[in-house]
Amino acid sequence: MKPLISRLKPYYNSKEFIAAVLPTIGNIESFEMEFAEKFECKSGIMFPYGRSGLYSLFKIWQLSNDEIICPAYTCVVVAHAIVLSGNIPVFVDCEEGSFNMSYAGIRNVITEKTRAIVVTHLFGYPMDVGMINKIVEEAEEKYGNKIYIIQDVAHAFGAKWNGEMVTKYGDASIFGLNISKIINSIFGGMVITNDDVIYKKLIEYRNNNFPKQNVSRSLKRFIYLVSVYIAFNKFIYTLVNWLENKGFLDRFVKYYDESVIDFPCDWNYYPVEIEARVGLVQLRKYDEIIQKRTSKSIKYAEYFKNDDRIKLVPLSEGATCSHFVGLVSDRDKWIAEYRERGIQLGTIIDYSVPYMSAYEKYRRGEYPVSRFYSEHIINFPNWPE
Ligand SMILES: Cc1ncc(COP(=O)(O)O)c(C=O)c1O
C-alpha cells in the first residue's frame, strides 16, 4: 500500500503526550483563562463539546420553543443543539459566492419570534460582524425582544473582521476542540464571553448539570490520544483509510445520521483535566499552526488560480484558513485522481441541513446555494507539518 497524506491531521508532538501524563502544565481553569485571553474575551468555560456549550447558552437564556436563526450550510450539530434545547431552527441560505449566511436572507427570516442567531464563520471566512449587529439591533428595536448573538468560530479561531477578532462581538462565542479543528483538546469545546452575567450563569449551569466521570473518561481520552498519534502516521494511515472506506470505523468517524437528531451519549459530562492540558499545549502552538495553515492555503490558491475545473472563494483579510476548500463538478474524479497521487481529499459538509430528512419539517422554501455547495465541495489537506 502506498503511503497516504490524510485530509486532516492534528499538530502533535511529544509535548501533548507529556502534558497528558504530567499534571503540572495546568488545569481546566487555567485553560479557560488562557483561551479566553488569546481570543480577546474576559472569560471562558470549557465543555465536553462545542455543541454542549451552545445548548447550555440556550438553556441559561431560557429559550424554549423560540426561533433561532442558523445557516443551512453548517455542521449539523448546530441545528441539533437548537432542536434538542427545545427550540426551532430557522435556516438561512449562503450568500452567492460565499460559504456564510446571506445578510438579505437573515433580514427575511428575522421576526418577533427570533430570540437568537448563530453566526457561523465557515471554513475560517469571517462574516461582517458589524452588519450582523446592525440587522439585529434594528430587529430588536422593531420587535422589542432581545436577540442573542453567538459567534460560531469552530472553524474560525482568531478570525478578524476589519482588524478586530469576531469573538469581541455578540454575546458569546463557541469553539469546537476535536482533532479536526485548528487546535484541539482531544475532544472538548469552549464558550468565551465578555459578559459577566452570562459567564456566571453558564459556569453554574455546567457545574450543576454536567456530572464528573473523571477516571473512566480520562482513560478513554488518553487511549484516544495514543490512537490518534498512531493512526495519523502516513504509512499506518493508508490502512486506517482502507478500514474507513470499508465502513469498519463508522462508529468513530460518522458523526451524523440523516434521519436522527441526537448528541453523543457523553455530551453532558464534565470535561477532564487531560483534555485541558493537551488544549493548553495546542493553544500555545496556535500562532505557529495558523501561520502554517495559511501559507499552505496560499500555495494551493496560487496552484489552482488558472484551473477552471475548480472554483475557489478568495481568502479575505482576517480569514483563518481552517480548511482549504474548492468547488468542483466531478468530485469523485478529483478524489480518485488525488488518491492515486497519495493525497486524500475530504468532502467536508456534504449536506445542506434543511434537506436532511430529520430537518424536513423545519424547511421553509429552498436553499439552492447551500445545496449546490454540499454537492460540489472538496477540501485539501492544509494541516501544518
Ligand atoms: C461549524 C461548526 N460549529 C460547531 C461545531 C460544534 O463542535 P463540536 O463538534 O465540538 O460539538 C462544529 C463541529 O465540528 C462545527 O464544524
Read off the pLDDT of residues 43-62 as tens digits, 9 standing for 90 and up.
Answer: 999 999 999 999 999 999 99
In a domain, 33, yes or no: yes
Q: What is the structure's pLDDT at 66?
A: 98
Containing domain of residue 256, as a range?
A: 1-285
| 3-state SS string for 216-282 | HHHHHHHHHHHHHHHHCCHHHHHHHHHHHHCCCCHHHHCCCCCCCCCCCCCCCCCCCHHHHHHHHHH
CA dist., res. 202 & res. 197, Å (int): 8
Q: What is the CATH number of the domain that holds 240?
A: 3.40.640.10
Residue located via cell numbers 478529483: 334
Residue 176: which of 158, 190, 159 has the closest Cα?
190
CA dist., res. 51 & res. 76, Å (int): 10
Cell numbers representing residue 232 in the block: 495519523
What SS3 state is found at 88? strand
Q: How many C-beta atoms surround the C-beta of residue 68 within 10 A?
A: 26
In a domain, 300, yes or no: no
Cell numbers representing residue 140 in the block: 430588536
Q: What is the structure's pLDDT at 316?
A: 86
Residue whose CB lies within 8 A of the most ligand 1 atoms, among 78, 118, 185, 351, for a mutation test: 78
In a domain, 321, yes or no: no
In a domain, 378, yes or no: no
CA dist., res. 353 & res. 359, Å (int): 7
What SS3 state is found at 342? coil
Assess contact for 174 and 208: CB atoms under 8 A. no
DSSP string, 6-63: -S------HHHHHHHH-GGG--HHHHHHHHHHHTT-SEEEEESBHHHHHHHHHHHTT-
Q: What is the structure's pLDDT at 18?
A: 96
Residue whose CB lies within 8 A of the most ligand 1 atoms, among 35, 57, 73, 75, for a mutation test: 75
- Ligand 1 shell residues, CB under 6 Å: 49-51, 74-75, 77-78, 120, 152, 154-155, 176, 178, 189
Centre of ligand 1 from the C-alpha of residue 75, in Å: 6
The residue whose CA is least distant from atom 3 of ligand 1 is 154
Q: What is the structure's pLDDT at 230?
A: 87
Centre of ligand 1 from the C-alpha of residue 289, in Å: 19
CA dist., res. 99 & res. 123, Å (int): 8
pLDDT tens profile 122-169 = 999 999 999 999 999 999 999 999 999 999 999 999 999 999 999 999
Assess contact for 312 and 63: CB atoms under 8 A. no
CA dist., res. 213 & res. 272, Å (int): 8
What SS3 state is found at 370? helix
In a domain, 349, yes or no: no
Specify the ligand 1 atom closest to the Cα of 178: 10
Looking at the 3D structure of the chain, how many domains does it have?
A: 1
In a domain, 323, yes or no: no
Which residues, at least 6 apart from 343, have a Cβ–Cβ distance to it below 8 Å?
4, 5, 380, 381
In a domain, 314, yes or no: no
pLDDT under 50: residue ranges of the chain = none
In a domain, 326, yes or no: no
Centre of ligand 1 from the C-alpha of residue 256, in Å: 12
Q: What is the structure's pLDDT at 334?
A: 97
